[in-house]
Amino acid sequence: MTLGVTDKARARDFYEALGWRGVGGSGVEPVFFQAGDMVLALWDRAALAADSCVEDTGGWGGVTLAHNVGSRQEVDAVTEAARAAGATVAREPAETFWGGYDAIVIDPDGHPWEIAHNPGWRLSEDGAVHLTETPE
Amino acid sequence: MTLGVTDKARARDFYEALGWRGVGGSGVEPVFFQAGDMVLALWDRAALAADSCVEDTGGWGGVTLAHNVGSRQEVDAVTEAARAAGATVAREPAETFWGGYDAIVIDPDGHPWEIAHNPGWRLSEDGAVHLTETPE
């Protein structure tokens, strides 16, 4: 997954302040973060739009990321860490209508993250999220 | 990660045609897919915007997803499967400037996916993507 950003150094600093460690990123190259068994990249938003064959009309485009954690206390802690790192806390941690507990933080480029504890999902020690229902 | 969609049944059909298996999704609930150690959800885009505390200005918003596969042949095969399932192939499979091989397919809701083979990354049998460089 790649997030388009306008200031790669600022975006990298933000995610590194939350404990992630970037790889690469020299010159116009993306910065990469290992995130569990996937890779999250930060890249110039205009370059990403061109490379993705889409027009960038600005703003949000229908994708919201989530960081699932193991307890309400962790939701509170990650939300405070994001705020300290420069995120906008758009919704303070609170109980949700679906029986969980979450907050919404917006990164410096406007990408929203849900910081969530979902007691109905299983979370591995390494942060992996597992649905507990069986596919139909 | 949640993708906002305008027609949940159509979106679910698209991703299930690519071999994913949805969980939930009754009524206004999201459909969930286990994707490696994360969960991808499909949810009504307006509901997602409201829940994410963002304004939806339409169009693309600076996020591009990638499906990393183990060979050029797999890039070709996944691209054809996506086309058959109703995706727009915005860039046909080809060599990239960074030494890989990829295509861009756009899902029925306009979300772009890069279908990519990156020979510089390690791919586990279960599809997990591993950076081969060490964080700085």
Q: pLDDT per position in chain B (136 positions), as tens?
A: 999 999 999 999 999 999 999 999 999 999 999 988 899 999 999 999 999 999 999 999 999 999 999 999 999 999 999 999 999 999 999 999 989 999 999 999 999 999 999 999 999 888 889 998 766 5
Beta carbons within 10 angstroms of residue B50's beta carbon: 12
State whether residue B100 is helix, strand or coil: coil
Query: Cβ separation of B36 and A36 shorter than 8 Å?
Result: yes
Q: Scanning every residue of chain B, which has its alpha carbon at the shortest distance from the alpha carbon of A128?
A: B37
Chain A residues in contact with B123 (beta carbon < 8 A): none
- A81-130 tens-digit pLDDT: 999 999 999 999 999 998 999 999 999 999 999 999 999 999 988 888 99
Nearest CA in chain A to B55: A60
Q: Are the Cβ atoms of B34 and A127 closer than 8 angstroms? A: no
* Contact flag A66-B109 (C-beta cutoff 8 Å): no
- Please report the number of interchain residue pairs, chain A to chain B, with beta-carbon separation below 8 angstroms: 190
Measure the CA–CA gap between A48 and B32, rounded to whole angstroms: 27
Does the predicted model carry a pTM greater than 0.90?
yes
Structure tokens at A105: 């933080």
| Rounded Cα–Cα distance for residues B97 and A79 (Å) | 38
> Coil, strand, or helix at residue A88?
strand
Q: Which residues of A touch B110 (CB under 8 A)?
A: 54, 61-62
How much is the ipTM here? 0.93
Q: Do residues B15 and B9 make contact, with C-beta atoms less than 8 angstroms apart? A: no
Taking CA atoms, A72 is separated from A79, A119, A122, B15, in Å, by 11, 10, 14, 32
